[in-house]
A and B are shown apart, each in its own frame.
Chain A
Amino acid sequence: MSRKTRDNLRAYLFVSPWLISLLVFTAYPMLASFYFSMTRYTIVRPPVWIGLENFRVMFTKDDLFWVAVWNTLYYTVVSVPLQMLVALFLATLLNLSTRGIGFYRTAFYLPALVPAVVTTLLWMLILDPRAGLANAALEAVGLPKLGWMYSVAWSKPSLIIIALWTGVGQPMLIFLAGLKNVPQSLLEAAIIDGTNAWQRYWRVIIPLLTPTIFFNLLITLIASFQVFTTAFVATASASGASPAGPLNSMLVYMVHLYRQGFSYFAMGYASAMAVVLFLVLVVLTLILVRSSREWVHYEGASPR
């Protein structure tokens, strides 16, 4: 046995757990999802091939599918940019502040640690339509009370508020680290060039931060499309048949998929939904990666 073969064998012994994982828990389920998506499958009986029927039903017959698509898009399009902006804003403030960073950093990050079930229940209490803390605050400043999770108009904003409370801490810490990494020499050079703080922020700091912004955006976007626990707990009423929030206004994609797959055991249909979401996310990721060439500046790379 040559030295090279022996080295290879030894290395593959080391990576073998991960190879098995890639095959059994990634590659196989991915392929199987595509296969199941073209079958009628209730798990108790073997899958029956029905071609694209699941997709036809999904796009033309299942009204709730489109409700779920709309709700998820609404949730994502509003919450992701807000999360990014608030996280960046807070990190910027923290970077400017001279004292108390530890305290504020902890305050903004703690909600990210709270289990999602707890977070959801807590906000259901705060957003109680009769006398929750949020409505008490509105009333105190002379505004009308809101129905929050019990109103079609405010149920999705309720979910978004929860996403903000819990989802800002992590990107904020990452942004803060990125800001601390901005080389002092560049800032000093910009000062000598006679720029003011505002210009320095937009022309020096933000461009240097674009890789971090890109990373946070991608991660948050993928997670947001797959939001589950918050919407599930907020709308739970044991049976899958009841609407998820008023007029299903909190029925997000993953909750619909979960109900199809695990309440009705329509595994084929749920797989088809998974495949659609997967393809959408792949396309979105590719678009984002492609667009990043235009707006993400990597250190060492020459500017376009």
Chain B
Amino acid sequence: MTGVYKGQRSNAMKVQKLLGQGVVHGLLFSISLLFLIPLWWLFVTSIKPLDQILTIPPIWWPQPPQWENYVAALTSPAFPFWRLMGNTLFYCVTSTIGTVVSSAVVAYAFARMRFTGRDLLFGITLATLLLPGVVTLIPTYVLFQRMGLVGTYAPLIIPYFFGSAFNIFLLRQFMLTIPVELSDAAYVDGAGDFLILWRIMVPLVKPALIVVAIFNFIYAWNDFLGPLLYLDDSSRYPLSIGLYAFRTRFALQWNLITAAALAITIPLIAAFFVLQRYFIEGVTLTGLKG
């Protein structure tokens, strides 16, 4: 008797659990559509002929798909794709190298070296994490203007070579988890700090360095306000401003605009799928250690 009862109860629980999972997945699935449909729309608009874009009811797959839009958009003199891409890559690569190297060096000092004023300096570093960028915007512009650097990438890139609060913080937290014995052994062998940083720390905190590099790269790739402020010559535009300028010229050619827009988005999405592990880890670190 009790056995039957028990069986019924666990069956009921199973049903309840299945039902619960059903509700959870139903919700997750329908909400994920709200997130994914706009991306699909970006793609499908980019292969549409002009007269199939703004229609009611909407057209989910064009007849016939017009892949030539990509040729038209990416070879348009108003959207010099490869030059824009070159500029963007230059900005991304140099700023990323700058911030990874400088932040790692500074983080090493915070994590491993004893010096007067260290805790105060680290406290200030944490405080600047919350500093709203707006309060330094104009004088920084004036500074670079006086140095005659407005119109070049220098104002966008130079600050990266002096470390960034968040990256220093993240790398320091990571370096603190490396056992001191590892570097102490090297000390005994007479290795200097630079050598220890380069030979011992860097290989051990590689995942954190990759996270910093990825997030900086994406930040620079997407940066809009920086290039908008500092670059005036269209030959120096990065992709973000290039797309914006393209849109002001071809306001109603939505198929070409979305083709160009997707062309500058796909590298990021591809990077995400290849480096997914680091993305999730990186965002997670941001929140938990913060």
Contact surface of A with B, Cβ cutoff 8 Å: 7-8, 10-12, 14-15, 17-22, 24-26, 28-30, 32-33, 36, 43, 90, 93-94, 96-100, 103-111, 113-118, 121-123, 125-126, 128, 130-133, 135-136, 139-140, 165, 170-171, 173-178, 181, 212, 215-216, 218-219, 222, 225-226, 228-229, 232-233, 236, 238, 254, 257-258, 261-262, 267, 270-271, 274-275, 277-278, 281, 285
Is the CB–CB distance between B139 and A18 below 8 Å? no
> In the bound complex, how far is the Cα of B44 from the Cα of A122, in angstroms?
12
- Let me know if B42 and A131 touch, CB within 8 A: no
Residue pair B130, A218 in contact (C-beta under 8 Å):
yes
Considering the chains assembled together, what is the distance between the CA atoms of A181 and B154 in angstroms? 43
Contact (A17, B159) CB under 8 Å given A107-B35, A108-B32, A118-B264:
no
Structural contact, A115 and B264, CB atoms closer than 8 A: yes
Interface segment among B5-13, B76-84, B178-186, B278-286: the answer is B278-286
On whether the beta carbons of B162 and A21 are closer than 8 Å, the reply is yes
Q: Using C-beta atoms within 8 Å of the partner chain, give the interface range for chain B.
A: 35 or more
B41 A122 Cβ-Cβ under 8 A: yes
19 contacts between A and B (CB under 8 A): A28-B139, A93-B31, A96-B20, A104-B32, A111-B35, A111-B38, A115-B221, A115-B224, A125-B41, A126-B38, A131-B54, A133-B41, A133-B58, A173-B280, A177-B288, A212-B287, A218-B130, A233-B244, A275-B135
Identify the closest chain A residue to B289 (Cβ): A215
* Pairwise interchain contact A114-B139, C-beta atoms closer than 8 A: no
Main secondary structure of the interface of A (DSSP, over half): helix
The distance from the CB of A81 to the nearest CB of chain B, in whole angstroms, is 18
Q: CB within 8 A of A225: which of B25, B132, B168, B240?
A: B132
**Which one, B37, B131, B141, B224, contacts A116 given CB within 8 A?**
B224
B265 touches A118 (CB 8 A): yes
Q: Check B72 for interface membership: any CB of A closer than 8 A.
A: no
| A226 in contact with B132 given A97-B25, A136-B57, A267-B138 (CB within 8 Å) | yes
Given contacts A105-B280, A121-B257, A216-B287, A113 and B142 within 8 Å (CB-CB)? no
A7 touches which one: B54, B114, B284, B290 (CB < 8 A)?
B114
Contact flag A17-B54 (CB < 8 Å), given A36-B138, A93-B24: no
Interface residue? B176 (CB, 8 A): no
Taking the complex as formed, is B248 at the interface, i.e. its CB lies under 8 A from any CB of chain A? yes
B50 within 8 A of A: no
Determine if B138 and A270 form an interchain contact, defined as CB atoms under 8 angstroms apart. Answer: yes
CA distance A175 to B286 in the complex (A): 11
Pair B130/A285 contact, Cβ less than 8 Å: yes
CB contacts between A and B, total, < 8 Å: 261
B287 touching A177 by the CB < 8 A rule? yes
Give, as a whole number of angstroms, the nearest-CB distance from A86 to chain B.
8
Cβ-defined partner of B288 (8 Å) among A123, A135, A212, A222: A212
Query: By the criterion CB–CB under 8 Å, are A170 and B106 in contact?
Result: no
- Given contact pairs A14-B105, A174-B286, A140 touches B136 in the complex (Cβ within 8 A): no
Chain B residues positioned under 8 Å from A93 (CB to CB): 24, 27-28, 31
How far is A11 from B105 in the complex, measured between Cα atoms in Å? 10
Interface-lining segment among B61-69, B89-97, B118-126, B203-211: B118-126
Whole-angstrom distance between the alpha carbons of A139 and B58 in the complex? 11
Residue of A nearest to B272 (CB): A113
A113–B138 CB distance below 8 A: no
